[in-house]
């Protein structure tokens, strides 16, 4: 697997990252171990988790695998804080005290003394940004965190945080993690330009359009799946006419290239500006291996195919994203 540099850190990360949101929920520890081994064997090194994934179980599983399945030194380990579970009054908490307590809890679960990338999982409107970023500076200065990033920030939020952290003595941001795929290109309006201006790498989550870009729902959705509230909320947003049209074009391109829709969709994301590593998650090792196959990792879209997919999936850009002068 090819390597790319994460932001301005000099750290090489694999061109595909392994997301672990299912670990501890839909994926049991034994299957997680098989996924990690398959990922490392394919040349992968970027492992992404969060303190709220499966209420901490994802981090616990990783902590049990590092050193046993793969040496800690071979993994670029990324986790997140800010999310809050079991508190209907507050879904985000980016206060100084909460963040540093969350970091220490993550390190204990991960069985390590540091993480390579610590990410603010979401914007917290209830906490002053200066307070949040003081926690980032403390985490980096203490050695518990090597580098810091942000997730799910809007364009103006990204710009504000990046400018504050660019000052002397502050811990600069190196990455932004955002949903990005042929079905979700809204970040191209303002978030990507802000990240580019700050020199941040992009780590796309849901690069396969929450599974829809694989084409598996072209012939309909099983009734049992549609009964699931999570499925309707998470996947259902891409089961519309516009998305179906894009999927049809992806399938057509895949047939022309002798590739899978999954391969075409991942290749499109990998080639986008700023992208360091799309994050791919899977419930089973068999699903993961589909993303790690040599013909998937090696696929480069012809210029005309890429241009066509750009056109059919283009987000609406207008004033002020595009100048009218």
Helix segments in the chain, DSSP class H: 29-41, 57-65, 96-110, 129-141, 155-165, 191-198, 223-226, 229-234, 241-257, 261-270, 285-292, 294-297, 303-312
Residue 301 DSSP symbol: -
Nearest to 137 by CA among 145, 125, 129: 145
Provide Rg for the chain, Cα atoms: 19
What distances in angstroms separate CA 291 from CA 17, 50, 154, 193, 225, one per listed residue?
10, 22, 29, 28, 23
Spatial distance between the Cα atoms of 325 and 30, rounded to a whole number of angstroms: 59
Given 53, 153, 180, 217, the catalytic residue: 53
The answer for 86, left when phi > 0, alpha when psi is -120 to 50, beta otherwise, is left
Catalytic site residue 153?
no
Residue 149 DSSP symbol: E
Q: Which two tokens stand for residue 34?
A: 């098989």
Catalytic (active-site) positions: 53
């Amino acid at each position: 697997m090819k390597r790319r540099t994460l932001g301005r850190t000099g750290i090489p990360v694999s061109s595909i990252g392994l997301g672990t949101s299912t670990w501890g929920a839909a994926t049991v520890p034994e299957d997680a171990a098989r996924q990690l081994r398959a990922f490392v064997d394919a040349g992968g090194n970027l492992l992404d988790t969060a303190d709220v994934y499966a209420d901490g179980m994802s981090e616990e599983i990783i902590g049990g695998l590092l050193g046993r399945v793969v040496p800690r030194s071979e993994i670029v380990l990324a986790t997140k804080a800010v999310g809050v579970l079991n508190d209907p009054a507050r879904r985000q908490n980016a206060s100084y005290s909460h963040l540093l307590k969350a970091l220490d809890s993550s390190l204990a679960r991960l069985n390590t003394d540091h993480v390579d990338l610590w990410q603010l999982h979401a914007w917290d409107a209830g906490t002053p940004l200066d307070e949040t970023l003081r926690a980032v500076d403390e985490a980096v200065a203490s050695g518990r965190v090597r580098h810091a990033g942000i997730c799910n920030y809007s364009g103006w939020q990204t710009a504000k945080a990046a400018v504050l952290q660019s000052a002397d003595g502050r811990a600069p941001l190196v990455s932004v993690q955002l949903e990005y795929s042929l079905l979700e290109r809204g970040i191209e309006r303002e978030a990507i330009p802000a990240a580019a201006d700050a020199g941040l790498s992009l780590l796309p989550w849901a690069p396969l359009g929450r599974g829809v870009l694989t084409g598996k729902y072209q012939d309909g959705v099983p009734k049992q799946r549609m009964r699931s509230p999570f499925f309707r909320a998470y996947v259902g947003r891409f089961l519309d006419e516009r998305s179906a049209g894009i999927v049809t074009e992806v399938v057509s391109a895949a047939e022309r290239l002798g590739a899978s829709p999954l391969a075409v969709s991942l290749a499109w994301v990998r080639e986008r500006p700023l992208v360091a590593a799309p994050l791919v998650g899977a419930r089973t090792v068999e699903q993961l291996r589909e993303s790690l196959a040599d013909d998937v990792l090696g696929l480069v879209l012809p210029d005309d195919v890429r241009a066509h997919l750009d056109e059919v999936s283009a987000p609406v850009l207008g004033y002020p994203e595009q100048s009218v002068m």
